[in-house]
Amino acid sequence: MTENQPAGDGETDLSNECKELLSLPKERGWISLHQHQYQGFWCPTEIFQGIIAFQKHFQARDSDIVVASVPKSGTTWLKALIFAIVNRQRFEIKIHPLLTSNSHNLVPFLEVDLYRNNLVPDFSSKFPEPRLFATHIPFPSLGTIKESNCKIVYVCRNPFDSFVSLWHFCNKVRPQSLAPLSLDEAFDMYCQGMDVYGPFWDHMLGYWKESFKRPNNVLFLKYEDMKKDGVNHLKTLAKFLDCPFTEEEERNGVIEDIAKLCSFETMKKLEINKTGTFVLNMESKNLFRKAEVGDWVNYLTPMMEQRMSKVIEEKLGSSGLTFKGTPELADHVQQN
């Protein structure tokens, strides 16, 4: 089957499935009018069909590499880092594809790009091995990826900053026909677990637990740690992906070059990221806001802070998963 070709006899089935899905629990959406609860997670209407087509048709290979995340956790960055690491023999830094393409267009989302609109992609030509994909789908719903031996790199971010990032982003990309989401309303939805692909806690826990069960297949990273020590994270990533940096590469500054190429400062300034688009025709410039750890203090009231802390404690407290950039939580964890 070739790219842009409908999924054969699945087309009618999928339409029927989608009709059925629209009868699932439904709430106000973040980037569209509605979101729906499917297999336990919340998903914008537009993405359903892609999720179903992906689950039905995608055949993972052991050599695949999959970037996974809750939205607004560092996906754009991680896609760039992995693309640059894996392809470092193919491209010179000075004329690198990341200088002329947004990382989302180099490492496509399975459900939002490749299988969107019930298309079945042509994997034969454009995808040299290892194939690089991304997804926001929670671990239990990953279809054949779960059973394969492929490498999954998951990035998570402290929920305080993720929430603020999500709220800003959604208000920028929501259709103009929809009223903006107020901070209060968005916060309430988030704390109830009705965030995009959420509840965020289930999303994180799915990959967190799997990273302990299968450490050679699932690498769990934290945005705040990556910001603090980019070079060491690049080494960890390359090793996990079975392409460790050689001593010579280290001596020649290859790691630093990649870190710089993929840095927020570099990516935000690129013409392609100021003027281009990425999935669902959204403007790429909205992917680059502040990239700070702890920016949430500028938005959340003490009451909101307390509520979020309580949610995190209740939902993630016993998991061992902790976050930096949330001083109160860090203190709390230390006290316990």
Residues lying near ligand PPS in the complex (CB under 6 A) are found at 69, 71-77, 161, 165, 168, 262-264, 267, 287-291, 295
Q: Which is nearer to ligand PPS, 113 or 161 (CB)?
A: 161
In the bound state with ligand PPS, the residue whose beta carbon lies nearer, of 151 and 203, is 203
Place of tokens 């259709």: 175
In the block, tokens 């959604």 appear at: 170
Active site residue 34: no
The single residue of 57, 104, 136, 168 carrying the catalytic annotation is: 136
CA distances from 335 to 9, 138, 243, 329 (A): 58, 31, 40, 10
Q: Closer CB to ligand PPS, residue 52 or residue 262?
A: 262
CB of 299 to ligand PPS, least distance (A): 11
CA gap 196, 194 in Å, rounded: 7
The whole-angstrom separation of Cα 193 and Cα 182 is 17
Which tokens belong to 240? 């996990």
d(CA 311, CA 22): 29
The distance of closest approach from Cβ of residue 77 to ligand PPS in the complex, given in angstroms and rounded to an integer, is 4
Q: Least distance to ligand PPS from the beta carbon of 248, Å? A: 26
Least separation in angstroms between residue 229's CB and ligand PPS is 13
Q: What is the per-residue DSSP string for 175-218?
A: -TTSPPPPHHHHHHHHHTT-STT--HHHHHHHHHHHHHH-TTTE
Name the residue nearer to ligand PPS (CB basis): 29 or 120: 29
The answer to whether residues 296 and 224 touch, using CB atoms and an 8 Å cutoff, is: no
Q: Which residues are catalytic?
A: 136
